[in-house]
Amino acid sequence: MATSPLLPNSHTEPDGSAVIRVLSYNIRSMRDDTAALARVIGACAPDLVLVQEAPRFFRWRKKLARLAAASGQVIVSGGGTAAGPAILSSLRATVERTEDVLLPLTPGLHRRGFSTAVVRFGRARLGVLSCHLSLQQDERYGQGGMLLDRLAGLGVEHVIAGGDLNERPAGRTFRRLAEGLQDCWATAPWGGEYTSTPTDPHQRIDALFATRGVEVLGCGVPAGQPGVTDADLRAATDHLPVLAALRVPAS
């Protein structure tokens, strides 16, 4: 895969705004090569990791904690208590509050949820949401509306959301989110576009979104970046990650 210019490193600007790196990643319940998974996350040097399909069952907390430690992160929220989505962060983040949200259960379908938090990087304050939307079209569309409502309910001016949407950009749920938020890849494309599958990338079903006041410096699949190898990307899980550099204004 071709190498793209490097994303900015995390730092604080003189005006108090914070440049942060955010990674969204479906980790398939850590059923694959967890060492490769940790190497990919660590090499991306994220300040926030929006996880989908975190372990949910037997000893799920220990498994997620092990991944966080191996990749230089700490657990913020989510996992089994959010039906799969989770948020990890570097020690650079100050966590103000968290909330795990279980969505209405449709009989015969998987339980879904949101992992949410409000965090600060110095004077920059940010709402965060990780999601994994339904495979069923109508349920997914309803969950998109719940996601927007939940972001508004965080009570924070600047918000990001990311996850596995189970839908391409032309889909109505994806378009619903992109109408009110910035689709970070479309705003500032960088790296690779397609997130599924690692062995045959042909569709973008994973994405990061941000409110309009957040400046997107670059967003995409971090293939070819230092420390991120094709072998690790293929071995880690059945999705490719999405990495973004964002400038969050001071509050």
Averaged pLDDT in 10-residue chunks for the chain of 251 residues? 77 97 98 98 98 96 98 98 98 98 94 98 98 97 98 98 98 97 98 97 98 98 95 98 98 91
Containing domain of residue 119, as a range? 15-248
Q: Structural domain tally of the chain?
A: 1
Residue 28 lies in a domain: yes
**Sequence-ordered list of residues with C-beta below 8 angstroms from that of 152, at least 6 positions apart, any chain:** none
Q: Distance between CA 173 and CA 177 in Å, rounded?
A: 6
Residue whose tokens read 């996850």: 163
Q: What is the pTM of this model?
A: 0.97
Q: Distance between CA 124 and CA 121 in Å, rounded?
A: 5
Residue 6 lies in a domain: no
Q: Decide: 62 and 56 in contact? Cβ < 8 Å.
A: no
For residue 156, what are its two tokens? Answer: 């924070």
Alpha helices in 96-201 (DSSP H): 137-153, 172-180, 184-187
Q: State residue 231's pLDDT score.
A: 98
Residue 1 lies in a domain: no
Residue 54 lies in a domain: yes
Residue 58 lies in a domain: yes
Q: Distance between CA 29 and CA 40 in Å, rounded?
A: 16
CA quadruple 241, 200, 37, 226: dihedral positive or negative?
A: negative
83 — alpha (psi -120 to 50), left (phi > 0) or beta?
left
CATH of the domain at 136: 3.60.10.10
For residue 184, what are its two tokens? Answer: 């970070």
For residue 71, what are its two tokens? Answer: 């990749």
